[in-house]
Amino acid sequence: MAYISNTNEDRAEMLSAMGFTSFDALLAPLPPAIRYQGELNIPTALDEGGVLRRLQQLAAKNVDLESHLCFLGAGIYDHFRPVVVGMLAVRGEFATAYTPYQPEVSQGTLQAIYEYQTLICGLTNMDISNASMYDGATGLAEAALMATSILNRGDIVVSGAVNPLYRQVIQTYANVTGYRVVEVPTAEGVTDTERLSEIVNSQTACVVFQQPNFFGNLEDVETLTETAHKAGALAISAVDPISLGLLKPPGDYGVDIVLGEGQSLGNAMGFGGPLLGFFACNKRFVRSFPGRIVGATQDSQGRRGYTMTLRTREQDIRREKATSNICTNQALLALCATIYLCELGKTGLRHVADLSLQKAHYAFQQLCAIEGVKPLFPNAKFFKEFALSLPVSPSELNTSLLQSKIVGGLDLGAYYPEFAGSSLFCVTETKTKAGIDALVSATEGVVKGGKA
Amino acid sequence: MSKDTREPLIFDVSRPGRVAANLLPKCDVPYQSPSELLGAESLREKLPLPEVSELDVVRHFTHLSQRNYSIDAGFYPLGSCTMKYNPKINEKTAGLPGFAALHPLQPQETVQGALELIYELQKMLAEICGMKATTLQPSAGAHGELLAMMMVQAYHAERGDTQRNIVVIPDSAHGTNPASAARCGFKVKGIPSNEKGCTDLAGLEKALEGGNVAALMLTNPNTVGLFESDIQQICQMVHDAGGLVYCDGANMNAMLGLTRPGDMGFDVMHFNLHKTFSTPHGGGGPGCGAVSVQANLEPYLPVPTVEKEGDTFRWKFDNSKSVGKVHSFYGAFLIAVRAYTYILSLGKEGLRSASENALINANYIRARLADYYDVAYNAPICMHEVVFSANRQKREGDVRAMDISKRLMDYGFHPPTNYFPLIVPEALMIEPTETESKQTIDSFIEAMIAIAKETQENPEIVRTAPHTTLVSRLDETMAVKNLDLRYAPLFEE
């Protein structure tokens, strides 16, 4: 039988050592009424070749983005993954280890997490980072809940320019705890800071925004942070880690909690999972922080070593009084992010960010030259994503683009009814000028064809 | 003796100006100044990242990997964690571009294979646990618990039963259970276990009084490794009191094809695909905490759900009763690919065989070590794991569960789970899984017996273990007192 090492003789010897003659004796604790007598409605075992063929057959039913050009972003990004990342992370010594509860035999994982924490702090210019959260959305929800518990206030104020999927997750978490989620309207593709200052009050636990925001635009982060702080609330920012190759880190403008989706840092898009939530904050919140944290210490002979620390915040010790229920997190994806950031390094990450910036602006300018295509937010500054108002329906455009092996932008109308007819495009460093030109000419073809 | 064997931090290896490889293309579009495009005030100055070569990276992370114990390297009998062999084919299938290189927001007609896989796996999991429907959205077991408690709350709210603010949890439960219930705003009421290590029916009866109980969270087999033989009655009692029953599925590896939580009376459960269905733990994730529900909770499943119409699969986003979303997208899809691969490889007969062998291996350890260590509760048979207490060793040689765990490292094994469940003093929780051979298990048993003898003859060697690892016991107090959570020199001016 698959992956079973015992032979029939082994089993017989083992049962006999226990004084039993058949396996059924071990089922004695199960009341007969709930012993499953049937056959599970699951296929019979396939051989390895058969399994591979079945999975390849399913995979072949999908349009993969190695064979197609992808201009979709909205939280998951087609950035280049250096080969070395996957090659190292697949090592069984990393992949088949458990959470490092036994530090003496887990120094590899522990040191990698310590390096990861350092790199996240470096990217964000924050004091402390945890070992990871499930994804950007739950990281944001946890950050908001952390603010409510630190300040004992019940309102979570969220910019309407935060990823709508993230806002749905915050709402789900808030519903069960009775916290109120208050949305701040946007104006010209960014958070309306005037409306924000009217909304915040002594019940505001936090002001949540995203930089660059869901539309790809740069927010006035200084004003947003200041407005939160004036109301005595915490400022929470979701950030695109790649953008931090160029953009000012959140620590520089005084944000209290920073989080984001770390998929871009060397992890597969994977149809949206598994993902990597990174999470960093100011050191005064170290005791209210969710998740695992690794610290450096010494062994009994004075040698440097690493161990999970501040454990008394956690569920297995504090149970219902824990700062969060999180246990298993995203260690292997955090490892990939660590390897990615080391491999790219100081110049490489800047280069990824700059190339994405350049190519996105080239694509923007070329697309806007098509008659009828207009920037949705003409006054906004953007990083690698931009919204365009289109003279054809975004979904029809996308269907046509597929013929040219292009996966087009996101139909914004699905998330913002007021922006129906607009698409959100994303251009990363993986797109060549030729690829962008192909998008532009295919789009132009559809636009002109649609008018004819 | 105290040779410094540490691997330098990657930051120590860094040299100004060093780069890894020719990873990125030159800019092939007209270059515009970032400060013009973004505004000079938006740009950063310092970027404190390492500067290393690719060879530096490969050596460093290879060295780090060598400082880990792993299933691929040896026996890892960590109780409650189901450290079974993680088949290599799972990595191959999860890496297929048709799965790994998919964007979650692609048009649905371009991801029909992915939706079919999700649909099929959800059905398989529901069949395995005897329930109606499944979601793959939660990222881990604790996340599944949280989602389940959200659904429990929505269920009672719809019935106007908003006074139900209590979740009953046995004292033997995983810490995530009370933490997840509390995260949903529930009050946690603990109930003690009885002298057999199982749920105390009288205690449960008392806890159910008052009509305020929303749910019971129960692990079955429980964390002592014993099957809750009264499970049907337990579920009946909770249902009669108007509550729901949640199964913590961490121990599902004991039950595949042998018995089903849905048939026992549970309303909802989570699976750990990273335990029962062989997806690698990754040193602390990623996992997938799939949740299955009976028909009564199906309306509250998170959105989107996947539906089949003819031969077409599609996401359904509109469901007014849904609790909402608990993940950015649809959960850990590539973990689902691995679990699906595993189920196809084993088939129905293999799943049953997995649990049978898990039970045989655990009971064999229990039988062979019973003369040397105290079995936590003296039931004649355990399920897929066995819990011992090191009470005898503590009494005889002042040797504790922690010491025995550390000493096992010197014998080449990963330690069992220790000090859990909390109701067992000096607990050593051993879960061998089905994939280990009698040979491996025998050598583990020999090591445990040798340590039992050492506690009588030379307890000091156990108390000061491990002696052969790269570092010895770490100073946890110092780690908390002098918090060092990042490499400070990187942040100095």
Domain boundaries, chain A: 69-80+346-447, 83-339
Answer whether B193's CB lies under 8 Å from B200's CB: yes
User: pLDDT digits over A289-344, tens only?
Assistant: 999 999 999 999 999 999 999 988 888 888 888 888 888 899 999 999 999 999 99
Going by C-alpha positions, the residue among B155, B154, B119, B117 that lies closest to residue B134 is B119
pLDDT, position B5: 67
Please, which pLDDT band fits residue B493 given cuts at 50, 70 and 90? Answer: low
Nearest residue in B to A242, CA atom: B47
For residue B139, tell me if it sits in a domain.
yes
The pTM (predicted TM-score) of the whole model is 0.97
A335/B484 Cβ within 8 A = no
Query: What is the pLDDT at residue A2?
Result: 78
Least confident of A157-166, A380-389, B13-22: B13-22
Q: Which residues in A lie closer than 8 A to residue B178 (C-beta atoms)?
A: 315, 319-320
Q: Are B224 and B376 in contact (CB under 8 A)?
A: yes
Report the residue from A45, A248, A300 with minimal CB separation from B42.
A248
pLDDT at position A452, please?
Answer: 40
Q: What is the mean pLDDT of chain B?
A: 96
Query: pLDDT tens digit string along B459-481?
Result: 999 999 999 999 999 999 999 99
Q: What does the pLDDT look like over A387-422, one tens digit per residue?
A: 999 999 999 999 999 999 999 999 999 999 999 999
List chain B residues with CB under 8 Å of A436: 29
Percent of chain B surpassing pLDDT 90: 97
Please give the average per-residue pLDDT across B360-364, as a whole number: 98
Task: Name the strand (E) or helix (H) holding A314.
Answer: none
H or E element, residue A354 = helix A331-368
Tokens read off for A67: 């064979």
Q: Of A61, A178, A246, which has the smallest distance from its Cβ to B185's Cβ?
A: A178
Instruction: Specify which residues A108 forms β-bridges with.
Output: none
Residues spanned by the domain of B165: 89-345
Inspect the interface and report whether the beta carbons of A169 and B334 lie closer than 8 Å: no
Residue B455 lies in a domain: no
Mapped onto helix, strand or coil, the DSSP state of residue A448 is helix
Mean pLDDT score, A240-251:
98
- Which residue of A55, A172, A310 is in closest CB contact with B323? A172
Query: Above 50 in pLDDT, residue B2?
Result: no
**Over 70: is that where the pLDDT of B98 sits?**
yes
Cis ω for the linkage preceding B77 (within 30 of 0)? no
**d(CA A201, nearest CA chain B) in Å:** 24
List of chain B residues whose C-beta atoms are within 8 Å of the C-beta of residue A154: none
Task: Convert the pLDDT of each residue in B43-58 to its tens digit.
Answer: 999 999 999 999 999 9
Note the CATH number of domain A83-339: 3.40.640.10
Q: Which CATH number does the domain housing residue B284 bear? A: 3.40.640.10
Mutate to test the interface with A, among B12, B44, B228, B343 (most CBs of A within 10 A): B44
Which of B2, B33, B46, B49 would best serve as a mutation to test chain A binding (most A beta carbons within 10 A)?
A: B49
Cross-chain Cβ contact A137/B328 below 8 Å = yes
Report the distance separating Cα B274 and Cα B286, nearest Å: 8
Residue B3 has pLDDT above 70, yes or no: no
Mutate to test the interface with A, among B75, B108, B337, B485 (most CBs of A within 10 A): B485
Give a yes or no: residue B284 inside a domain.
yes
B402 domain residue, yes or no: no
CB–CB contact B286 A175 (8 Å)? no
Q: Tell whether B35 is covered by a domain.
A: no
Structurally, how many domains does chain B consist of?
Answer: 1
Q: Give how far B241 is from chain A: nearest CA, Å.
A: 22
pLDDT in tens, A57-101: 999 999 999 999 999 999 999 999 999 999 999 999 999 999 999
The pLDDT value given to residue B492: 83
* pLDDT per residue as tens digits for the range B410-419: 999 999 999 9
Q: Which CATH superfamily is domain A69-80+346-447 in?
A: Aspartate Aminotransferase, domain 1 (3.90.1150.10)
Mean pLDDT of B361-383: 95
Query: Which band of pLDDT confidence, cut at 50, 70 and 90, is reported for residue A451?
Result: very low
- Dist. CA B398–CA A255, nearest whole Å: 50
